[in-house]
Structure 1
Amino acid sequence: MDGVKHTSEDSELISETIEKLPVSVSREGKGKRLWKKVKYQLVEYNSLPAYLRDNEFILGHYRSEWPLKQVLLSVFTIHNETLNVWTHLIGFFLFLSLTIYTAMKVPKVVDLHSLQLPEVLKADLHKLQECLPSLPYMPDLHKLREELKSTFPSIDMLPSLSGWHVMDLLYNCLPERFSHSNQTDVCVLRSMKEDVANMIAPLMLRPITRWPFFAFLGGAMFCLLASSTCHLLSCHSERLTYIMLRLDYAGIAALISTSFYPPVYYSFMCNPFFCNLYLGFITLLGVATILVSLLPVFQNPEFRTVRASLFLGMGLSGVAPILHKLILFRHQPEALHTTGYEVLMGIFYGIGALIYATRIPERWMPGKFDIAGHSHQLFHVLVVAGAYTHYQAGLVYLKWRDLEGCRGT
């Protein structure tokens, strides 16, 4: 029609081209899907960019520069970081559960019904507790305890009290039988109230502060979650790897530092000088370690031993307060009990740091422990075991100080 004539050969050629067009498009779509599968395949150590090369004895199953979506989904797939992620992620949920349990189940006061006291004094004590629900902790009134021992044998179960004048607050909280309803002289009533107040004051039970124990639990959760996140996301990009490694080192320093808070505080709570000295020292050391960890050179693989030694040195700095505690409370069974837990914790952490630094067992059989059993996974398991051991020590400290206060210090 437009003056251009089409031969039969041209028509056949056009038809063939049209027929082949969908096939070409289809093949292109399949090619893209195939390329995505190839692109997100696990690679070998030699194919990694320099910033992802950390352990030459783990030869394969690496993720390399994946998009963030693929990286997040890889938490449910198998690669050489899978167990690194899950060992500490499970540990995080374990300590989250322990924190909730401690806050809800660990007694906030000693159970009065478990104490063998006369029923009259129990009733008086309950009345006083309702009247004065927020009595401060008073750790040192030894004389009242000694005077009451002969009268009430169970008084040894109660914490000692001191440092607080209870008379003014107790004046209007005594039972009705000590009221002014009779015609007794006011001076005699006041004397009687003072005597009764002095008898009941040592029975007012209030637990010691829990913040050092919860500081440790918070440090443990931060460390475990930071480590798990680091192992999951570090393969995304060099920038994110740098950030995640800094966060990981900060978490380790936080765990070590806060691990000292319960033993130091509860051992030396009645000796403020040593308590503040030890707490201040370990806190400053932890902050210094985090600052050193921010240096880019600290990330290089050749500084692996230096990193392990620095964190190990933080742990060894706790030897001094532990020895001091043993000397100060050498006759207290709780001191030996808690020290046993702390030594076991140190063994777990020490072995873990040694395995991490020496890269055992994968250095003996490169490529055999790529998926499971390599040094970093063993290190993670030992960290969780050590932290849980320290949690058990913390429970002993709480029970000890709740019942004993500062008696004998």
Structure 2
Amino acid sequence: MINSHYKSWILSSDKTFDDVFDYEVGEGVCLKETKEDFKKVKCGLVEYDSLPGYMKDNEFILGYYRSEWPVKRIFLSIFTIHNETLNVWTHLIGFFIFFFLTIYTAAKVPGVVDLNSLQRAHDMLRNADWHKIQEELLNCIPALPNVPDRHKVMDVVKKMSLPSVDFLTSLSGCLKDDAMNTEAPLKVHAITRWPFFTFLGGAMFCLLASSACHLFSCHSKRLSYIMLRMDYAGIAALISTSFYPPIYYSFMCHPVLCKLYLGSVTVMGFAAMVISLLPAFQKPKFRIYRTSLFFGMGISGILPVIHKLILFHGQPEALQTTCYEILMGILYGLGALIYVSRIPERWMPGKFDIAGHSHQLFHVLVVAGAFTHYRAGLIYLRWRDMNGC
């Protein structure tokens, strides 16, 4: 709302309300004479020292800040260059990557082998009269019209090698022992997908919330607090939902352990999200505590991974998924370390304002870590679809 002082100024001049652009700054109102003047003065990029206190977060990034812009201009700034451009796009692109991965997973993943069809193919190969097939082809080819070089085709048919014993043996080895029993059809287990899609949903929420935070937090103090809380809640959601696929698919045959681990992760994730929504938690002095909280949540996943290796030490899938999970932890941990230490901009303040500063590197590592976890999830699905409990 425009206060009475500015109303009197407008009414006493030849300006109209359409000529004046009102813009909220904190609790006050800043008026410029025309929209054109406002754009020239208020929508330029400013330096760190010119920022309001709530926007001062990284003293090593010295320029190219958007400060208290109107929402429309902020939205359009996604296509312009400033020190948040790559922060916005690294996670926005990551969101679309996981959006399409979710669609792909729902439509085609995993490509489980149909063991019943493989059994039928094996039986056909074993029972086929290959000499008779070859003889019929040789008799048929001369009678076919419009077949050039019939003699060459017949020579190829004569040289056709019959399926070897080694080939049939190898095909048999691909099947389980009970696959040889045609009276007992093979089973491909349909394992529920909700833990995997929960992780994908948590990843998309985190990436989209982060992108929106970096885009709109320069509008006002109030909106900045809201966006930052959503950002930290998204991080908590990503970490907690990342545990769902490994815990569920590792311990689905042990219901007590599965419920215990999933319950613990859910409680920790919910607590982290609640703490993230507290206004006091957003202050710069709590940067290390925020990072430590999320890092601690990630470390808590070590116990179920070790337990999985003990239970399934003979399963190659257990080792493969663990390797992916270790890589994911390294990527997340490295990203958190870079984020807290503010490397490399602390070494050369002002040189990485547009590209290459710590938050952008942190974003890239988060997307890479989440994609690594997606790859591990595919192995879990194939493993359980093929083996069940």
Q: Indicate the SS of the match to 2:189.
A: coil
Q: Distance in 2 between matches of 1:117 and 1:32?
A: 75
Equivalent of 1:104, from 104, 107, 111?
107
Checking the alignment, whether the CA contact within 8 Å between 2:199 and 2:241 is kept in structure 1 is yes
Equivalent of 2:375, from 392, 402, 408?
392
Q: Indicate the SS of the match to 2:176.
A: helix
Question: Is 1:265 aligned with 2:285?
Answer: no
Give the letter aligned to residue 70 of structure 2: P
Q: Distance in 2 between matches of 1:312 and 1:94?
A: 24
Give the letter aligned to residue 383 of structure 1: V
- Structure 2 CA distance for partners of 1:223 and 1:157, relative to 1, 3 Å: farther
Equivalent of 1:365, from 299, 324, 348?
348
Q: Distance in 2 between matches of 1:210 and 1:98?
A: 14
1:280-319 matches, cutoff 5 A? 280-319=263-302
Which residue of the partner structure matches residue 69 of structure 1? Answer: 72
Q: Distance in 1 between matches of 2:178 and 2:296?
A: 40
Which residue of the partner structure matches residue 310 of structure 2? Answer: 327
TM-score normalised by the chain length of structure 2: 0.75
Q: Distance in 1 between matches of 2:232 and 2:269?
A: 10
Q: Distance in 1 between matches of 2:122 and 2:344?
A: 64
Which residue of the partner structure matches residue 221 of structure 1? Answer: 204
Checking the alignment, whether the CA contact within 8 Å between 1:109 and 1:206 is kept in structure 2 is no
1:9-408 matches, cutoff 5 A? 33-107=36-110, 110-112=113-115, 115-117=118-120, 155-156=175-176, 199-200=183-184, 203-406=186-389
User: 1:236-263 CA deviation, whole Å, 9 max, x = no partner?
Assistant: 1111111111110110001001100000
- Percent identity reads 70
Checking the alignment, whether the CA contact within 8 Å between 1:108 and 1:206 is kept in structure 2 is no
- Structure 2 CA distance for partners of 1:221 and 1:157, relative to 1, 3 Å: farther
Q: Distance in 2 between matches of 1:158 and 1:356?
A: 54
Checking the alignment, whether the CA contact within 8 Å between 2:86 and 2:360 is kept in structure 1 is yes
Give the letter aligned to residue 47 of structure 1: S
- Structure 2 CA distance for partners of 1:40 and 1:154, relative to 1, 3 Å: closer
Q: Indicate the SS of the match to 2:119.
A: coil
Checking the alignment, whether the CA contact within 8 Å between 1:89 and 1:228 is kept in structure 2 is yes
Q: Indicate the SS of the match to 2:60.
A: coil
1:34 positional shift: 4.3
Q: Distance in 2 between matches of 1:400 and 1:158?
A: 18
Give the letter aligned to residue 50 of structure 1: G
User: 1:196-219 CA deviation, whole Å, 9 max, x = no partner?
Assistant: 9xx43x524232111111111111
Q: Distance in 2 between matches of 1:400 and 1:33?
A: 62
User: 1:291-316 CA deviation, whole Å, 9 max, x = no partner?
Assistant: 11122221111111111110000000
Q: Give structure 1 regions of 4+ aligned residues with deviation exceeding 4 angstroms.
A: 29-32, 118-121, 152-155
1:96 positional shift: 0.6
Q: Which has the larger radius of gyration?
A: 1
In structure 2, the gaps of 5 or more residues are: 1-31, 125-171
In structure 1, the gaps of 5 or more residues are: 1-28, 122-151, 160-194
Q: Which moved more, 1:103-112 or 1:287-296?
A: 103-112
Checking the alignment, whether the CA contact within 8 Å between 1:85 and 1:232 is kept in structure 2 is yes
Q: Distance in 2 between matches of 1:295 and 1:389?
A: 31
Q: Distance in 2 between matches of 1:311 and 1:249?
A: 9
Which residue of the partner structure matches residue 143 of structure 1? Answer: none
